[in-house]
Chains A and B, each alone.
Chain A
Amino acid sequence: GQSLEQPSEVTAVEGAIVQINCTYQTSGFYGLSWYQQHDGGAPTFLSYNALDGLEETGRFSSFLSRSDSYGYLLLQELQMKDSASYFCAVRDPGDMRFGAGTRLTVKP
């Protein structure tokens, strides 16, 4: 079956860098996505990696290693508004599975 593992909580200070890891087990694999969700809000798409390597979008970067079934989301220059839950999700043929989410708390 499929499973995704990501830390349940991460805390960091403003201006710091934080990395949220995601490991997965799937029977098929198309790609790894990341989403951000603030309390009471809808998820926001952050990135999608289908190939190995690092994708950078502003302060956020996402990395994928298909051979290790592993990816991470890197958030730089943390701001208070980055406090939210972050979900990784795996696309496989016909389905999409989400991790349980990592709650990031940014402190001043």
Chain B
Amino acid sequence: KAGVTQTPRYLIKTRGQQVTLSCSPISGHRSVSWYQQTPGQGLQFLFEYFSETQRNKGNFPGRFSGRQFSNSRSEMNVSTLELGDSALYLCASSRTGMNTEAFFGQGTRLTVV
């Protein structure tokens, strides 16, 4: 079966712009969670969506937002980009939530210049 698909794989944006990243979970998975990974801060949890509702949220500013559609596909948006937002953004899907086996996509590498 198809894995978790993230698009785009690579993205270069300018400070002040906004960006939308997409994540298509494994068929049948209702939970999608998002993470930011940087060399300095490591892996950090952004938020989790389950059945179109944000269920959990990490400690990120309001510039970071997300949503989930009825087909479980999810998007995350970052507005007013800062240089420090340059990172690998990962999403993971699971059947019921972050406690269960989660499958990660290959990530979107965002570079802010």
Contact = CB atoms under 8 A, between A and B. Distances in A.
Nearest to B106: A42
B64 interface: no
Contact of A30 (B43, B44, B99): B99
B16 interface: no
Contact of A96 (B42, B58, B107): B58
Contacts of A33: 98-99
Contacts of A41: 106
Given A42-B90, A48-B100, A91-B98, A98 B105 contact: no
Contacts of A30: 99
Interface size of B as a range: 20 to 34
Given A43-B90, A48-B99, A98 B104 contact: no
B57 interface: yes
Nearest to A96: B45
B59 interface: yes
Interface residues of A, number: 22
Given A42-B90, A42-B106, A43-B90, A97 B99 contact: no
Contact of B42 (A48, A91, A94, A101): A101
The binding surface of chain A is classed by DSSP as strand
Interface in B40-78: 42-45, 56-59
A5 to B, nearest CB: 13
B57 A100 contact: no
Given A42-B90, A43-B90, A91-B98, A98 B103 contact: no
Interface of B: 33, 42-45, 56-59, 90, 92, 98-107
Interface of A: 30-31, 33, 35, 41-45, 48, 50, 87, 89, 91, 94-101
18 contacts: A42-B90, A42-B104, A42-B105, A43-B104, A45-B102, A48-B99, A87-B42, A94-B56, A94-B57, A95-B45, A95-B57, A96-B33, A96-B45, A96-B56, A96-B58, A97-B45, A98-B43, A99-B42
